[in-house]
Amino acid sequence: MEKEQKPCHLVLVMAPFQGHITPALQLATALHSKGFSITIVHPELNSPDPSNHPEFAFESIPDKFTPPRHLDRDVVGLALSLNKNCAAPLRQCIEQMVRSGDRITAVLYDSFMFCAQTVVDELRLTGISIRTSSATTLLLLPLFPQLEEKDFISQIDAPELQALQLPRLRALLSQYPTSAMTEMRVAFTNAVRSSSAIIANSMAFLEQAALSNVKQHFPVPIFAIGPLHKLAPTIGSSILTEDDECIAWLNKQAPKSVIYVSFGSIASIGEHELIEMARGLVDCEQPFLWAVRPGMVRGSEWIEPLSDGLKECVGEKGHIVKWTPQKEVLAHGAVGGFWSHCGWNSTVESICEGVPMLCKPFFGDQLLNSSYICNVWKTGMELQELERGNIERTIKKLMVDIEGTEIKNRAMDLKEKAADCLMEYGSSSCSLNELTKQISSFS
C-alpha cells in the first residue's frame, strides 16, 4: 500500500506586536487552506492564544525582553534587542524540530525578526521573508551595501515613486543616524537578500512601480498576496480587548457621518495633544468614534488630562473607547472618514472599505504610507499639526467639502480594485497560487 504523503510543513516566525501578529496569523490561515501544515514560533511577549487557532501548532521561545512603555520612542533599539535575544532560542527550537524527524519545507519569518534568516542559513533550510509593511519600504528603509544611496534614489524615474518624494522621506528617516540604525538596516537588508522569496501584504495595483523596482534590487521572487485580512479572516489576534459596544453606537448614526479616530497599537501623544484633539473633534460638529489606547497618552493611564467639562462635551458629540474591532468599524455604513496614524494594516483595511483618510503619521513607514495616500492614490489628506482649529477645518474639508467628495470617489474606486484582486483570476489570488507552487517546490 502506498504511504499517504504528509503535507508540507511550514514554520512561521512571528514578531510580538499587534501590527505584525494579525497579518502573520492571516497568512498562516491562507497557507493552511492550501494544504500546508503550520507551526507558529513566537516570542513570549504578547503570545497568541493557541485555543483560538487549533489548526496550528505553537512553540514559544524566551525573549528576555521588557519593552518600553512607549514603543515608538526607540523602534531601532527594540528591533535589535529582540533579535539578539531570540536568535539562540529560535535556533534551538528549530533544531529540536529537525532532530525529532520533522521535515521543514520552509521557514517563513516576519522581516522584523531578521535573525531568523541567519538561523535558517546555518541550518541549511529555506527562508522566506514576510513584509507586514508596504513593499516600497524595501526601497526606502534598508541601507544597500552595494549601492550609493543618492545614486540609487536618482535612478528611480517612475512617476508613482517620484510623487512619494522618496529623497525627502529618506532624509526624514535618517535625521539622527546612529550605529544602531546602521546595524539594523544592514542586518535587515542582508536577511531579505538571502531569503528565497518575499511575501508582501499588498496588491499589485497599489504599488506597481515599487514592486517592479524591488525585483531589480532583490534577486528573489516577490508575491503580493494582500489584502490578507480579506483573503483569510482570522479571530483572536487582538492583544487588547475590543469594545464591541461601539458598533451599537455606530448603528444610531447617519450614513457616512462619523469620523473614526485611531492611532494604532504603538504611537503615543502628549497630554496637550490629547486636549487639542478632543476640542477639535467637538468643534468640527461631526459625530466621532475615538479609540484612545490605554497608555497611549504619555504620563497618563487613559484620558485623565481631559477636564470634566470637556469629557461631557465629548460624550454629547462622540464616543471614546479603549480599542475597537477596527475592520468591523471601517466596514460600517456610518463611517465616512478615518483619522489614522497610517500604519500599513490600517491603510490597507481602509482601502478595502473605501473609507477616505485623514493622515497624521508619527514615525517610520507611516510617513511613506501617508505620502501614498495623499500624493499618489489621493484618497486622503494630511493633518499638519494637532491644533484644535486645524483639526476642525481639516475634518470638515474631508467630510463635508467638495474636495472631500472627490477624495471619497477615488477611495471607492480603490475599494473596487482591491475586491478585484481577490477574484479567481485576480492578481492576489494568482500570486497566492504561485507562492503555493514555489513553496511546494522546496520540498
* Residue pLDDT, tens place only, 40-80: 999 999 999 999 999 999 999 999 877 766 666 788 888 89
In 218-364, alpha helices (H): 228-231, 245-251, 271-283, 308-317, 326-331, 344-353
Instruction: Say if CB 120 and CB 107 are below 8 A apart.
Output: yes
pLDDT digits (tens, 9 = 90+) for 256-266: 999 999 999 99
Q: Are 247 and 328 in contact (CB under 8 A)?
A: yes
- What is the widest separation between alpha-carbon atoms in the chain? 78
Rounded Cα–Cα distance for residues 432 and 226 (Å): 9
Per residue of the chain (443 residues), give pLDDT as tens.
345 567 899 999 999 999 999 999 999 999 999 999 999 999 999 999 999 999 999 999 999 877 766 666 788 888 899 999 999 999 999 999 999 988 999 999 999 999 999 999 999 999 999 999 999 998 876 544 444 455 555 566 678 888 887 777 766 666 556 788 788 888 998 999 999 999 999 999 999 999 988 888 888 999 999 999 998 877 777 888 999 999 999 999 999 999 999 999 999 999 999 999 999 999 999 999 999 999 999 999 999 999 999 999 999 999 999 999 999 999 999 999 999 999 999 999 999 999 999 999 998 889 999 999 999 999 999 998 999 999 999 999 999 999 999 999 999 999 999 999 999 999 999 999 999 999 999 97
pLDDT at position 142 is 58
Cα dist from 370 to 98, 165, 381, 389, whole Å: 43, 11, 8, 21
The residue among 364, 436, 432, 441 whose CA lies nearest residue 204 is 432
Across 103-218, the runs of DSSP E, i.e. the strands, are 104-110, 127-131, 197-200
Domains of the chain with bracketed CATH: 9-227+422-442 (3.40.50.2000), 245-420 (3.40.50.2000)
DSSP 379-410: -EEE-----HHHHHHHHHHHHTSHHHHHHHHH
Cα angle 73, 75, 81 (rounded to 5 degrees) comes to: 115
Rg of the chain's alpha carbons, rounded to an integer? 22
* Distance from the Cα of residue 284 to its chain's centroid: 29
How far apart are the C-alpha atoms of 239 and 265, rounded to whole Å?
9
Q: In what order do the strands lie in the sheet with 127-131?
A: 57-61, 37-43, 9-13, 104-110, 127-131, 197-200, 222-224
Q: How far is CA 142 from the centre of its chain?
A: 17
- Helix boundaries (H) for 232-321: 245-251, 271-283, 308-317
pLDDT digits (tens, 9 = 90+) for 412-435: 999 999 999 999 999 999 999 999
DSSP string covering 38-90: EEEEEESTT---GGG-TTSEEEEE-------SSGGG-HHHHHHHHHHHHHHHH
pTM of the model: 0.93
